Amino acid sequence: MAVTTHVHWDHIGGHRYFDNIAVHELEQDWLSVQFPIPLQVVKNNLTKYPCDFPAGFDIDTYRVFQGIPQRILRDGDWLDLGNRKIQVVHTPGHSPGHCCFYEPERHYLFSGDLIYKGCLYAFYPTTDPQLFYHSVKRVQKYKISRILPGHHQLSIPVSLIDEIEAGFAQIERNGKLKQGNGLFDFGDFQLQI
């Protein structure tokens, strides 16, 4: 099963290799009906920076994956992996159906695009900076021993959650927690609002 943190092109490219796909209910149509961002905008994002694309990749024939999910996820659902159980934590903001996955036995948080070192994005039309901030505050309440992010490096401190929350709080205090207010640099991470 491919369990989807969110239905963005850079997270669903390998879904075609799976017969069983799980996605949050708010992004079910993004996968099966129509992705909400125009294809040319996606292609522009893919080619914005130099990248070592796989052999045979052709930007002209590239299409965002479309498929029918076999499982619809909701906040609080459980994924049974045999001897491991993972809880679905709905964390909207980066996208409406963004989810993190929490493993209570190990205290692992699979954070997708909610927490990582690098630029966190809340400027697309389908993003919501206020919800993003709320979702960061929500995961602060979990006992977490390790974060497994969706981008960049895997070795990140759990304290990054508090640092990102503090960054959002500062932006909010300054009245800037609205789309279109630009890029805010906090060292190990940036927030593009």
What's residue 148's pLDDT? 97
CA distance 22 to 85: 15
Q: How big, in percent rounded to 5, are the helix, strand and coil portions of the chain? A: 25, 20, 50
- pLDDT tier for residue 171 given thresholds of 50, 70 and 90: very high
Q: Which of 136, 138, 144, 142 is nearest to 186 (CA)?
A: 136
**pLDDT (mean) for 33-46:** 90
pTM above 0.85, yes or no: yes
Q: Which of 118, 79, 116 is nearest to 101 (CA)?
A: 79
pLDDT higher than 90, residue 37? no
**pLDDT (mean) for 2-19:** 94
* Stronger pLDDT, 35 or 97, i.e. the higher one: 97
**Percent over 90 (pLDDT), the chain:** 87
CA distance 23 to 136: 20
Q: What is the pLDDT of residues 92-132, one digit of tens each?
A: 999 999 999 999 999 999 999 999 999 999 998 899 999 99
What's residue 52's pLDDT? 87
- The Cα angle at residue 46 between residues 40 and 47, in degrees rounded to 5: 90
For the chain, how far is it from start to end, CA to CA, in angstroms? 33
Strand 108-112's sheet: what is its strand order? 78-80, 85-90, 99-103, 108-112, 146-149
* Owner of token pair 């390998």: 14
Mean pLDDT value across the chain: 95
**pLDDT (mean) for 10-29:** 95
CA distance 113 to 92: 10
pLDDT higher than 90, residue 51? no
CATH 3.30.420.10 fits 74-192, yes or no: no
In this structure, the chain runs to a length of 193
Domain ranges of the chain: 74-192
What's residue 125's pLDDT? 87
